[in-house]
Structure 1
Amino acid sequence: MALAPPAVTAQPPGLEPAPLLLPSNLRLTPEQFEQVCQANPQAVLELTADGLLIVMTPTGGETGSRNSRLLIQLGLALTRGQPSLRIFDSSTGFLLPDGSVLSPDAALVLEERWQGLSPEQRRRFPPLCPDLVVELVSPSDAGPRGITDLRRKMDLYQANGARLGWLLLPQERAVEIWRGGQQGMAERLENANRLDGSELAEGLALDLEDIWVV
């Protein structure tokens, strides 16, 4: 005899899950932000220096695929002879000196700086700015993944000590290179097919043709 499926119990009116609304003037400390992230592991969040939450939207398929190929290339570059660098993906939040917590699409940190952190600091948001940050612009300029907001982030990385920043613009096949000590100024490469990072580590490079392809 076939078993009947279990009855579906309707949720009482008034108990439906509702979106979380936060007051626009809410300010969080980095410690409070960490608690919010732990309570909402499915959310992708960042924190500004003045304590405002930034809710990141999920990427589309093209951007997600490009992010994956970006990480693979960086990983291969390190395998070929750069054990002095450690790679991090977009799920890592870095606690920057100004108190903000930002998550670049990819980041490299010198191994000696990573080893200088305590085990507790490594488990939490690492309290440092990466040596290299990479951000990938989405097709739309709207929101936190658009070029306008990402240029602001590149400025923040520079101000907090990043030695090198790469802002990749797949729709234009262009790259903006941000260097430490040159806040607000970026070198732009048009129709770029290769990106050289030897100023940070010998042999570090990206094949951009692999990133641009859909």
Structure 2
Amino acid sequence: MDAFILKLTENTRFNDDELFEFCSANKELRIERDDEGNLIIMSPSGSNTGRINLKILAQFSNWVYENETLGEGFDSSSGFLLPDGSMRAPDAAWVSKSKWGQLSQVEKDKFAPITPDFIIELKSPSDSFTTLKKKMEEWIANGVQLGWLIDPELKKAFIYKPSQPVKEVDSFDFFLDGENVLPGFQLDLSKLT
């Protein structure tokens, strides 16, 4: 099972501030909200998934630090309020400096009401591939410019961009390229084994 969905009626749904308070009071849980206001409570990833995610974050954070004038990077504990009303927390995200600079300090301290320019979702063995593909499509529909879904078990990656078909990478013998969204960033998939 990849997640437990708590369906809420319209009268019991959390507004953005209530959701932030609920998540803050339950830090041991990984919680997201879908576009219908339902809470998605996900299990922690297995140790191997966490090990691989750290390898991804190491490469990503190196690029973020070397290019700090371009934007800000975020890990999996960062939630974003999206235009469709959902709150999602990708495994890694990046927001351009200009977009981040438009937020107030209060907005930055809670779930930022902003769509990242770039996200990474890492599939764990307990995740449903169908659910993750739908989530990636939602990221793109909400304004993400480049998204990577990485499946270490099958050694595949899927590249999502607006108005383009999903590109599948069938081997970890390649680099994923940040293109014009993350200029100069390349994720070495061979390091994820």
TM-score of the superposed pair, with normalisation by structure 2: 0.89
1:190 aligns with 2:170: yes
Asked whether the equivalents of residues 30 and 51 of structure 1 are also in contact (C-alpha less than 8 Å), the reply is no
Local SS of the residue matching 2:22: helix
- Compared with structure 1, are the counterparts of its residues 79 and 31 closer, same or farther at alpha carbon in structure 2 (3 Å cutoff)? closer
Is 2:135 the partner of 1:149?
no
CA RMSD of aligned residues (A): 1.7
Q: CA deviation at 1:138?
A: 1.0
Structure 1 counterpart of 2:86, which letter?
Answer: S
Deviations 1:145-172 (A, max 9, x none): 3322111110110110000000001112
Change in Cα spacing, 1:23 to 1:122, as seen in structure 2 (3 Å) is: closer
Q: C-alpha distance in 2, partners of 1:172/1:39?
A: 36
Confirm whether residue 170 of structure 1 aligns to residue 156 of structure 2: no
Higher mean C-alpha deviation, range 44-53 or range 23-32: 23-32
Number of positions where the alignment pairs a residue of Structure 1 with one of Structure 2:
185
Q: For the Cα contact (< 8 Å) 2:8–2:37, is it kept in 1?
A: no
Runs of 4+ in 1 over 6 A off after TM superposition: none
- 5+ unaligned residues in a row in structure 2: which ranges? none
Cα gap change, 1:24 to 1:196, in 2 (>3 Å): closer
Q: 1:92-107 residue pairs with structure 2 within 5 A? A: 92-107=78-93
TM-score (ref. length: structure 1)? 0.81
Aligned to 2:16: 30
> What percentage of aligned pairs have identical amino acids?
36
Is 1:194–1:206's contact at 8 Å kept on the other side of the alignment? yes
SS in 2 for 1:151: helix
Displacement of 1:109? 0.7
Equivalent of residue 47 in structure 1, options 17, 22, 33: 33
- Secondary structure at the residue paired with 1:73? helix
CA drift at 1:82? 5.2
Residue 161 to residue 66, structure 1, CA distance change in 2 (3 Å): same
Give 1:96 deviation, angstroms: 0.4
Structure of larger gyration radius: 1
SS at match of 1:28: coil
Q: Which runs of 5+ in 1 are unaligned?
A: 1-21
Tell me which of 54, 59, 73 is aligned to 1:73. 59
